A and B are shown apart, each in its own frame.
Chain A
């Protein structure tokens, strides 16, 4: 069974930093493209970033480009998202999402990031 467990969320001040982690199990992590998708409170879904299986391809939404960094460690079956220069509008639940036959097939339960002074 595919399992994705996010951690690292919390309360951070504007301009601060945070690193999110996603622990994967139940599949061969190193063979799948992974994503982060976020959802602001009471709002819709927004794709944030993608990293290919070998980290050869990395992409970001314009809203986070230059501030967020996605990475992965296939030996540790883990995905990461480094969030820098955080703003109030980055407040959201962040989901770790695995591609399958097509993109965004399996989702973790999410971790909440709150940016507030």
Chain B
């Protein structure tokens, strides 16, 4: 099984900060990775697919990069509505998809 390790597990930041979240795969997954945002009591929403492609309608302050085993999600300038939990997902090992454990982004 492919394991996904996210870091940090939690993060405090301020509005306007640049934030980076990392996901590492236990083996190479090419660019078969997505990033999701989840707010309390709501369903996850996909932000990034294929490691670096921005989902339609998602603000351009979100970006993804990486390939192989190391991936990053960057928010260039945090907005109040960005405080949420973020998950990565690998789908290389179709259909045994695995998520990272999540990163909770909180207001400092």
Contact = CB atoms under 8 A, between A and B. Distances in A.
Contacts of A101: 49-50, 53
A106 B43 CA distance: 10
B49 A107 contact: no
A105 B96 contact: no
Interface residues of B, number: 24
A59 interface: yes
Interface string B29-50: 0001010100000111110011
Interface in A20-45: 44-45
Contact of B44 (A45, A59, A61, A103): A45
A9 interface: no
A106 B34 CA distance: 12
Contacts of A107: 43-46
Contacts of B46: 104-107
A108 interface: yes
A36 B91 CA distance: 14
A117 interface: no
A104 B50 contact: no
Given A102-B32, A107-B43, 17 more contacts: A44-B100, A44-B102, A45-B36, A45-B89, A45-B102, A46-B99, A47-B98, A57-B95, A59-B96, A102-B34, A103-B34, A103-B91, A105-B46, A105-B55, A108-B43, A109-B42, A109-B43
Given A44-B87, A44-B102, A45-B87, A103 B43 contact: no
Interface in B1-49: 32, 34, 36, 42-46, 49
A113 interface: no
Contact of B34 (A46, A50, A104): A104
Nearest to A51: B95
8 contacts: A45-B102, A101-B53, A102-B49, A102-B91, A104-B34, A104-B91, A105-B49, A107-B44
